[in-house]
Amino acid sequence: MRNGATTKRELHCGFACRRWVVVVALCVVTLATVTTAFASPPTVTTASGVVIGRKAIGMDQFLGIPYAVPPVGALRWTPPQAYGTFPGGTLHATQFGNICPQASGNTVVGNEDCLYLNVYAPASGGSNLPVMVWIHGGGLIEGSSNSYNPQWLVKEGVIVVSLNYRLGYLGFFAQTAIDAEGHEAGNYGLMDQQLALTWVQNNIAAFGGNPANVTIFGQSAGGQSVYAHLASPTAAGLFSGAIAESGSYEEFQPYLQYVVPLPDGESNSAPYNSPTVPTGETLAADVGCGDPATSACLRAIPAPYFVAFEVFPIFPFVDGVLLTNTIAGAFAAGTFNHVPVITGTAENEYNLFVAEQYDLRDNPILTSDEYTAAVEALFPAPLVPYVLSVYSFAAYPTGGQALGAAATDGAFSCPALNATQALSAYVPTYAYEFADENAPPAQADFGGLLTFPLGAYHTSELQYLFKQWDAFGFPTTLSPPQMRLSKDMLLYWTQFAKTGTPNVTGKPAWPAYNTSTNLFLQLLEPKPVAISSFGDEHLCSLLWNNL
């Protein structure tokens, strides 16, 4: 959605850029403290050998299981290869695997040897249990599976698998010399995710799971990845349900066309539609591999050099194999994997990015002129007059709230509505809006730095599903009403995984979406409620679907 050059991670800075390493470390400590020290460790036999995990409160944990050969050296930018046999035939799966290379503040952390997954199973055991495979977010440039504790989900009788996948330009790269090698190209991170799903098909029964009942779910870039697997012919048969949380950004609108054919991502002369993301040829020159660049030179460049040039977010490609059409095109044509879907957004998605870009930096107050400049930097030029008119600076208490409302509606909510409508023409589709305006953290946590309430911001629903920290690294503390909302969401999500419908006896009904009723389930406390006003509240028909 940008015009012109942007600074590195302009959309995702401040606390959020640093939170992953902090949260990973905290999660390791937290999970270790709940391990039952004297119980016999859970043991499972997989295709690669014996896996010995550890017990925790309510869960058997199997951490850091390699599902692919490390994609290093000559294997960088090649399709992932299934992992073979564990050395000695046994793996002690009690620690998380490496996270993939990414920025943490001004440094680069992680390791290219990062294709690991984690399995969390109910301590009570069982067989043919429903499986939920979590795909983390982070704009396809940051994050890891290690940051999410699925204890609450597992308590509801499901197995949760979380995975790492290649990120940034090591995971999503269109470059002429690499693409000429004859292998599947471009979407290496999505290929990793599909190999992990294949691992689940081959191994999850040994953990008590049902490979015929696998739901993929993810948030932000993880939600976009879920959409991509729905659209992907090579993902057919790997899952039976899908939940996409806030994955509709940069897609499903004519002015959001950043999922482009592979050749458009390769060449400086191609009309690559995201001016913030360099083409493969530009990036090759930036890291010192010249013109024309060779694959040998590119593979010899240390990973941190590529991380240094990453911008937030980046996008997958229409590569002709994993994606044969844009995601939006596949949905509109009905040429996607037909499984039940939950899809939704948060009510105030973009407030997170406004807070990080302005309030938590040196210039928290947006003046009228600065608001205009921010809109011009964020939206394509033809849209700017409409945005400034409909979301005028004077109509909101602060410029931050005006910018948050405009980008929430234009980049998340209305695209989500369009995705919902396209999917619902072919499969059962359940739409939601997370709307707890008091989602943690409270303004008080920032010592008066925030100039406006965050509301139901991007990522805020995650702390209602996972036992974790919030987007800024604060420990999550939910009030009693919020805990009730959390319980409702956990029941909806896991009931969907069990049955293909989220509806639970005794809870508010969640109607399947159709264009005649336009019903979304608004997730808020004291109890969720079905609404038909989602499109009107986000000005979809009034503005965004007419641009």
Q: Which residues are catalytic?
A: 220, 349, 458
Based on DSSP, count helices (H) and strands (E) in the chain, helices before strands: 19, 20
Which residues, listed in sequence order, are joined to residue 432 by a DSSP beta bridge? Answer: 344, 521
Give residue 79's Cα distance to chain centre. 21
Please state the φ and ψ torsions of residue 109, each to the nearest 5 degrees. Answer: -120, 165
68 DSSP 8-state letter: B
CA distance 57 to 93: 17
CA distances from 384 to 52, 353, 376, 396 (A): 57, 19, 6, 17
Cα(336)–Cα(168) distance, rounded to whole angstroms? 26
Asked if residues 437 and 456 have their Cβ atoms less than 8 Å apart, the reply is yes
Q: What is the DSSP string of 471-515?
A: TTSPBP---HHHHHHHHHHHHHHHHHHHHS----TTS---PPP-T
4 contacts 275 by C-beta, under 8 angstroms:
yes
Torsion of the alpha carbons at 334, 496, 223 and 424, rounded to the nearest 10: 30
Whole-angstrom distance, CA of residue 298 vs CA of residue 319 = 20
C-alpha–C-alpha distance, residues 363 and 383, integer Å = 25
Dihedral pair phi/psi, residue 204, rounded to 5°: -70, -25
Supply the DSSP string of 414-446, one letter for each residue.
HHHHHHHHHHHTTS-EEEEEE--TTPSSPGGGG
* Contact assessment for residue 166 and residue 115, using Cβ atoms and an 8 Å cutoff: yes
Q: What are phi and psi of 3, to 5 degrees?
A: -120, 140
Supply φ then ψ for residue 173, to 5 degrees.
-150, 125
- Sequential DSSP letters for 278-338: --HHHHHHHTT--SS--HHHHHHS-HHHHHHT--S----EE-SSS-SS-HHHHHHHT-S--
Going by C-alpha positions, the residue among 139, 389, 100 that lies closest to residue 258 is 139
* C-alpha to C-alpha distance for 483 and 462, rounded to whole angstroms: 13
- Tokens standing for residue 261: 């054919």
Helix (H, G, I), strand (E, B) or coil at 52: strand
Residue whose entry in the numeric block shows the structure tokens 């009403």: 481
In this structure, is the dihedral angle defined by the CA atoms of residues 219, 494, 46 and 44, taken in order, positive or negative?
Answer: positive
